Structure 1
Amino acid sequence: MSRARRQILGTFLGSVLFLLFYLHYHANNDHHPLSQSTSSPIAAAQSDDNQSSNDLPKKESLWKQLPVRYPVLEVQQVPVKSRTFPKLQSTDHEIPKPALQHQMTRQAAVKERFERCWKSHQSHAWAADGLMPLSGLPTNDRGGWGARILESLDTLWIMEMYEEFEAAVTAVTQIDFDVTNAPELNTLDVNIRLLGGLLAAYDLSNDQRLLTKCVELGDMLYAAFDTPNRMPIIHWNSHKASRREEQLAEEKVLAAELGSFTLEFTRLSQITGDSKYFDAAQRVLDLFDRQYGSTKLPGLWSVYVNARAESFDGDEYAIGAMGNSFYKTLPQAYALNGGQMPVNRRMYERFTFAAAGHNLFRPMNPDEEDILLLGTVHAFVTQNGKPRTHLQSQVHYQSCFAGGLFALGGALFGLPAHKRIAHKLVDGCIWAHEAMSQGIMPKVFDAVPCASQLHCPWNEWHWKQEAWKKANSLKIEGISDMNIDTFIKDHHLPKGFIDIPDTISELRPEVIESIFVLYRVTGREDLLDKAWELFESLNNVSATKYGNAAIVDVTFESKAPILSDSIENFWMSETLRYFYLIFGASDQISLDDFVFNAAGHPLRRPRPS
């Protein structure tokens, strides 16, 4: 090719390239006067907003980007159909209008108490996890994400505090779950309290901003399941996980912690259409199901298990303080899954049968009330190789959830015997409250178990003898120089109580939770007055300038109460919510429309197909 032709071809190619560049530039930078005109300043602002939201890349969660080390080969799909269930809430009673007005007055008093606590938190600890009720100082012991706001979202909506709800949601949208000040997270607490709160608030309000945060937090928790056997890490170092360091399930963990992801992960899969969350939780539940028959007390799972080795051969069996969050989810999971997962019902029926035969006991009491309490069972094997069990009649406040559990299961599965047990369990915990001088049950106490649940006459001499034996077994200083009557008086033991190893009241929700569920299921009207008496007892003793505080010693009589400069968020997010609901209309958060998770957050049940 001649030099002249090469020059002509080069000029032509240069012109083509320049033309292409010119067209590309003006296609992306068109400043035609019509494109600048808008009908109003509002339209201009909307145009800017649209450009910023559509053109700028959205931040993707760290946990969404993190590669999965142990991927799931086949994801179990979340059930999409739902059967028709029997009505759980009683329709046999109708409260007269004067009585209904009386209950509305009580409900207003509960709301006023919540509002006072909420305003204190707004003023003194808005972005913090909690507020110290005596000093008014903020606390950050739940990841630093503003746990109290997250846990109270659904309560704000239920109590129709919509302006406060909007402010709270706005604050929640600013949370970055990729960042935490906690060296270690308890994934169970994050799941049932924070994710549960977000899910419930979304189910109630349908606010899409909350759905976004649900997914962000759900993806973070899902990363804790990335272990060789897909068992979740409960005491989780999220910082190491974010650096893609090796994760192994723990060798000693509470079974309740391991198995309490079902409701939240199922609901998250239902509302997102992504079954990975359901699959993760169901794998754990399937492991529990496979362990049936291999434990020392078939039907129950030991308090502590080895999640790494998948070993459940412990000696201690309790469904109260260290097991309630798992056991209470089983009938709820059956309802939430639309009755499509028979394993939930099978596990419920097995464990309640075992618990009724081993953990439930009738306490001897001066009025000879036919009541039940829940203890802990130790299983062992004798030298002759025979299995044996021993009941420890120590009652934990958290075990009082069982009344509501049996009431719900009895109604859901058509088991009348479970409803009868529910009445006795609820009455047992009410008795424990009323027996104390201030009407407030301590965190832990010991009672005298009756030899028979059918006949149990009061025997004062036997009660004192058991109290004396307990005192000597504890080797209390000076006990040898003290007579039993002096010991009982000095230790403020009501009749029927033989020891109170933990006198604190944390204003926990389990008793009012069971009263609420039993009332909704049976319509038993005296429970309304019992609930009000309990609310007044708790509030009158614990109220402070900044809200309510834990009571250090509920056995005090004439002296002023000693309060702790601490209060758990469940006082506002659970205890007060159950008080509010029991005094409201029966269709307000109906048990036929919602299930309550282990932290009291209502999750919407799918409608029958």
Structure 2
Amino acid sequence: MSGTHVKKRKAKNATSKPSEASRSQQSSRGSGFGSGRFLWVGIPLLIAFGSFLYFKPLLVTDIIGSEWAKPDLKEIEISADTEKRDAVVEAFKHAWRAYERDAMGDDEYHPITRKGTNLTEAGGIGYTVIDSIDTMQLMGLTEDYTRARDWVEKKLSFDQDAEFSTFEVRLLNISFCDKLVLFSLLQTTIRVLGGLLSAYHLSGEDTLYLDKAIELADRIMPTFDTPSGLPYPSVNLAKRTGIPDKALPHLVSTAEVSTLQLELRYLSMLTANEEYWDKAENVMRVIKGALPTGYGLATIYMHVKSGKFVPSDIRLGSRGDSYYEYLLKQYLQTNRTESVYHDMYSAAVDAIHEHLIRHSPHAGLIYTAEFSPERTTDGQLSWRLSPKQDHLVCFFGGSLMLGATMTRATVSTVSVPPKAEELTSYGERDWENGEELVKTCMATHDTATGLSPEIVYFRMDGDEYDTEYNEDSDVPSSDWYIKGARRGHPPPYDARYILRPETVESLFIAFRLTGDQKYRKWGWDIFQSIEKHCRIETGGYASVIDVDEVPTTKEDRMETFLMSETLKYLYLLFSDKDVLPLDKYVFNTEAHPLPIFTPTGRTAFS
């Protein structure tokens, strides 16, 4: 795997501004000029030079350097855009009240047929209700929240004799073309446990939610009873037994086992039950021990008995994404007190920069590639690069920017936006590539609907550029494309938009860290596209089958993450900066906010 060229800022020493003290000294020395000469010669020259600066700012920047041309950066005030924020609230009400009207308590909602379904024959566990409660709390929807809480108190039951995925309830089927044709549906820990815990905190510690969270966690704990301590992917909640994956009985996905930690550690802090913490932390200990020394990338599968990684894809998309996300967030959750997570995160990010980050050949878009294992004719393991990026990866741009300010800064609290001298050289690299990855994700919204497809591929020098697509399509050639999309043919799975939140999540983080209004503009553009192409007039929002087809064909499903993530992040994007500030909260991967805390009497593993 070859490294990739990363743009560097000019050396700080060459572009740094004089300090206040040096400017004062220079002013003092300058006062020795004869006053007459200064008045008759200096003032006209200053006026002329000032006019030159006014009318030729770009030329001056080129001459003296862009860093010199910038004024001292001040802390930017981030206030609410109430009109846009309130429009998002109306969209949430349009979605939630349709679900409440037609399917209250059901796991899933189908807005076109106006009905709900559950994920098991035994019944559901209120995925949509619990996933949506903290959004209502944030938006101040008191009446809607009261009815939802009433349902949790009177009707929610986890005593279901059925198999529920520990991390996510999913239906997967890999075709001969290695194409994911069925996809993840709903997640138990990150949606239900996370939703209960954030509702507990935001409600001012309503014990209803904590009691339910404890009950659910206790039913999940048996999944950790494996030889390695890595949890089984499914659990029978009534019988409290862990269940291996039927298709891959000896394997668990890396993202599944490493995306329980924020929730269980916070629950442990609330209850003083160390079992939750120990089970979750042991998973990270096993992962760290299985990683090759000095190597930060993880494959997407591990062996549940040995606790070792098995040859499988390396990627930031499905089954890999939230592993990298939670490395940073575990470090932040405990107020940056556990250095092991800082080190694991830093090693992972460095490896991503070295091996996965690539540039498209024409526009120079930064994206993250994937590697798949292959056996050579002599039986050796090799790695095949694929220029494929899931929409799921679009969380990573904002995550890199956040990580730069929290793990690779020269000061404890950076400015908004950060000054160059406040970041280390690694921090500058992460920040710049984070910004560029956000731009790339926005570039994938350049479709007929303004919505981003589920999966895109990027062109590479020397490849065949998906010639079948180019020959049969009127779409202009660009640096990315939807693989298998052909005019007059059914759209491939990759072409759909299922109301995903990852891009708007990065926009929210980027805006909070910079105050740059372009992120709000981009978010508003996405919101308007959702309103135009996904809204169902009778209530709710539906997925779009093909982002490049107008008028759209819709799929009769409204994913719960529309209300828990997409609309929540849009609401926060247009809110005041004091609403869930990033230095006081971490968001689990389902956008449920959990407060940052400092643990007492506990030391992380090394």
TM-score using structure 2 length:
0.74
Match in the other structure for 1:160? 140
Q: Which has the larger radius of gyration?
A: 1
Q: Which residue of 2 aligns with 1:201?
A: 199
Deviations 1:23-60 (A, max 9, x none): xxxxxxxxxxxxxxxxxxxxxxxxxxxxxxxxxxxxxx
How do 1:403-414 residues align onto structure 2 when only pairs under 5 Å count?
403-413=397-407, 414=409
Once the two structures are overlaid, the 10-residue window that deviates more, 266-275 or 172-181, is 172-181
Partner of 2:529: 537
| Partner SS, residue 343 of structure 2 | helix
Mapped to 2, the partners of 1:277 and 1:269 lie a distance apart of 6
State how far apart, in whole Å, the 2-side matches of 1:375 and 1:487 are: 26
In the TM superposition, what are the counterparts of 1:507-518 in structure 2 within 5 Å?
Answer: 507-518=499-510
Give per-residue Cα distances to partners, 1:81-125, cap 9 Å, x unaligned: xxxxxxxxx972125xxxx57x21000000000011111111111
Q: Structure 1 residues 535 and 187 mapped into 2: Cα distance closer, same or farther (>3 Å)?
A: same
CA offsets, 1:221-242, max 9 Å, x none?
1122223433211123445545
Q: Does 1:342 align with 2:339?
A: yes
Q: Distance in 2 between matches of 1:357 and 1:381?
A: 23
Match of 1:400 in 2: 394
SS in 2 for 1:138: strand
* Cα offset, 1:563, TM superposition: 0.3
Following superposition of structure 1 onto structure 2, how do residues 109-508 of structure 1 map, counting pairs within 5 Å? 109-141=87-119, 144-175=124-155, 177-180=157-160, 182-188=162-168, 189-205=187-203, 206-239=205-238, 241=240, 250-293=249-292, 298-365=295-362, 368=363, 370-379=364-373, 389-413=383-407, 414=409, 415-434=427-446, 436-449=447-460, 465-468=464-467, 471=468, 486-489=471-474, 492=475, 495-500=478-483, 501=492, 502-508=494-500
Tell me the distance in 1 between the aligned counterparts of 2:401 and 2:91. Answer: 29
In 2, Cα distance between equivalents of 1:551 and 1:168: 28
Q: Note the C-alpha offset of 1:260.
A: 1.0
Consecutive unaligned residues in structure 2, runs of 5 or more: 1-72, 169-186, 410-426, 484-491, 601-606
Q: Which runs of 5+ in 1 are unaligned?
A: 1-89, 452-461, 472-483
CA deviation profile, 1:146-197 (whole Å, cap 9, x unmatched): 1111001110100011222122122112345442264443444211111000
TM-aligned CA distance change 1:167 to 1:371, over 3 Å: same
8 Å Cα contact 1:467-1:499 kept in structure 2: no
The equivalent residue for 2:571 is 580
Q: Is the 8 A contact 2:540 2:558 kept in 1?
A: no
What is the percentage of aligned positions where both structures have the same residue? 27
The offset of 1:391, in angstroms, is: 2.0
For the structure 1 residues 351 and 153, does the alpha-carbon distance in structure 2 shift closer, same or farther, using more than 3 Å as the test?
A: same
Which letter does structure 1 place at the counterpart of 2:254?
A
**SS at structure 2 position matched to 1:595:** strand
How many residues are paired up?
A: 478
Cα distance in 2 between the residues matched to 1:162 and 1:91: 37
1:597 pairs with one of 588, 596, 601: 588
- Matches of 1:164 and 1:372 in 2, distance apart? 42
**Partner Cα distance (1:261, 1:488) in 2:** 44
RMSD value, Cα: 2.6
CA spacing shift, 1:158–1:310, aligned 2, 3 Å = same
- Maintained 8 Å contact 1:226/1:247: no
Amino acid at match of 1:542: C
Residue 94 in structure 1 maps to residue 77 in structure 2: yes
SS, match of residue 513 in structure 1: helix
Q: Judging changes above 3 Å, is the alpha-carbon distance between structure 1 residues 181 and 537 closer, same or farther for their aligned structure 2 residues?
A: farther
Equivalent residue number for residue 53 of structure 1:
none
Query: Contact 2:232–2:252 (CA<8 Å) still a contact in 1?
Result: no
**Secondary structure, in 3 states, of the residue corresponding to 1:180?**
coil
Distance, in Å, in 2 between the alignment partners of 1:323 and 1:247 is 17
